[in-house]
Amino acid sequence: MKKVFAVLGDPVSHSLSPVMHNAAFNALGLECEYLAFRVGKERLGDAIRGAAALGFGGLNLTIPLKEKALEVVDADAMAEKIGAVNTVDFSGGIRGYNTDGLGAMRALAERGVGLRDAEVVLAGAGGAARGIAFHLVKAGARVTIVNRTEDRAASLAAELHVKSAVLSKLPGLLEKAGVLINSTSVGMTPNIEETIATSDMMHPGLTVFDIVYNPVDTKLLREARKAGAAVIDGVKMLVYQGAESFRIWTGKTPPVDIMEAAVRRRLG
Ligand SMILES: NC(=O)c1ccc[n+]([C@@H]2O[C@H](COP(=O)([O-])OP(=O)(O)OC[C@H]3O[C@@H](n4cnc5c(N)ncnc54)[C@H](OP(=O)(O)O)[C@@H]3O)[C@@H](O)[C@H]2O)c1
């Protein structure tokens, strides 16, 4: 009998996780199937415990369930700190993990971006930014969090003992930065002509990582290329966070190239 995995969220029909994980299961010849279920916050406990009772292999959680899941699962220390769970594993109870930040770290490492003592500007203070910020600090980066709503940046920065600023301070901050990570939703479809920074604010020594993956080639990345900066797109993080979930569930090495190709094909 096939082992079932799923992503829960609301909305969830746009999720790329089924295409990515089914490609991985097929490539490894595993008798598994990955589905998507629309679940609201009020039924999350029932859904997670139901999946456990039905013998599911594991779950991913997306908006708006990641924070609420902490009330239901036994979360590991990093997911507790981040305050959000995106991966649930049923092999020893109902365990919760957050692989978003790990995915971002792997995307940077793959491109040879060293984080120890690096000046990193992290734009955004929402859910994705939290996941990334804790890992950046753990990796020894000198982080400045910038956000449109300054209070949110300040409060996340206070938790991590790092600096913060309002988003409009970005031009000055980029002059001495080595890495810019966009974890805001600026530039995401349908607002594809929006960007948090233009080429005149960037320099060739900068690496610009945009976690927005729809569209893949965002205005921010195009501006970065114009300035001669190195670029990393959001598909990398998406694939690597999924790969970490896959590893947790199966204990197997995920076929990341196949997962990435499946996602890029779907995104066009
Ligand atoms: N590649 C991946 O694997 C991956 C994973 C997770 C998320 N993402 C992408 O990351 C983005 C953020 O996701 P999230 O879950 O963190 O969302 P979220 O919790 O809603 O946070 C949104 C962030 O974007 C900022 N923002 C929104 N509109 C803005 C605007 N017009 N100008 C300036 N700042 C603006 C918000 O600032 P305020 O605080 O001022 O509202 C906040 O910091 C989304 O595009 C999502 O698709 C990608």
Mean predicted confidence (pLDDT) in 150-172:
98
- Is residue 5 within 8 Å of residue 59, measured between CB atoms? yes
Is the distance from the beta carbon of residue 125 to the nearest atom of ligand 1 less than 6 Å? yes
**The tokens of 55 are what?**
């013998």
Report the half-sphere exposure of 100 (CA within 13 A, side-chain side): 25
The residue whose C-alpha atom lies closest to atom 21 belonging to ligand 1 is 126
Point out the catalytic residue in the list 66, 163, 219, 236: 66
Mean predicted confidence (pLDDT) in 119-145:
96
Residue type, 158: A
- Is residue 37 within 8 Å of residue 6, measured between CB atoms? yes
Is the distance from the beta carbon of residue 129 to the nearest atom of ligand 1 less than 6 Å? yes
How far is the centre of ligand 1, averaged over its atoms, from the C-alpha of 9 (Å)? Answer: 17
Averaged pLDDT score across all residues of the chain? 97
Asked if pLDDT for residue 183 goes beyond 90, the answer is yes
Asked if pLDDT for residue 268 goes beyond 90, the answer is no
For the stretch 30-73, pLDDT in tens is 999 999 999 999 999 999 999 999 999 999 999 999 999 999 99
Can you tell me the distance from the alpha carbon of 89 to that of 139, in angstroms, rounded to the nearest whole number? 25
Confidence (pLDDT) at 162: 98
66 catalytic per annotation: yes
Is the distance from the beta carbon of residue 87 to the nearest atom of ligand 1 less than 6 Å? no
- Segment (H or E) for 147: strand 142-147
- Is residue 212 within 8 Å of residue 234, measured between CB atoms? yes
Asked if omega into 255 is within 30° of 0 (cis), the reply is no
Mean predicted confidence (pLDDT) in 213-226:
97
For the stretch 2-35, pLDDT in tens is 999 999 999 999 999 999 999 999 999 999 999 9
- Segment (H or E) for 13: none
Write down the number of H helices and E strands in the chain.
Answer: 10, 12
Confidence (pLDDT) at 190: 96
**Residues 6+ away with beta carbon under 8 Å from 39:** 8, 9, 10, 12, 47, 65
**Residues 6+ away with beta carbon under 8 Å from 163:** 143, 144, 145, 157
For the stretch 90-113, pLDDT in tens is 998 999 999 999 999 999 999 999
Q: Which structural domains are found in the chain, ordered by start?
A: 3-98+236-267 (3.40.50.10860), 102-232 (3.40.50.720)
Ligand 1 atom showing the smallest separation from residue 125 Cα? 43
Mean predicted confidence (pLDDT) in 240-265:
98
Distances (CA, A) of 200 to 174, 203, 224: 10, 8, 9
Mean predicted confidence (pLDDT) in 213-238:
97
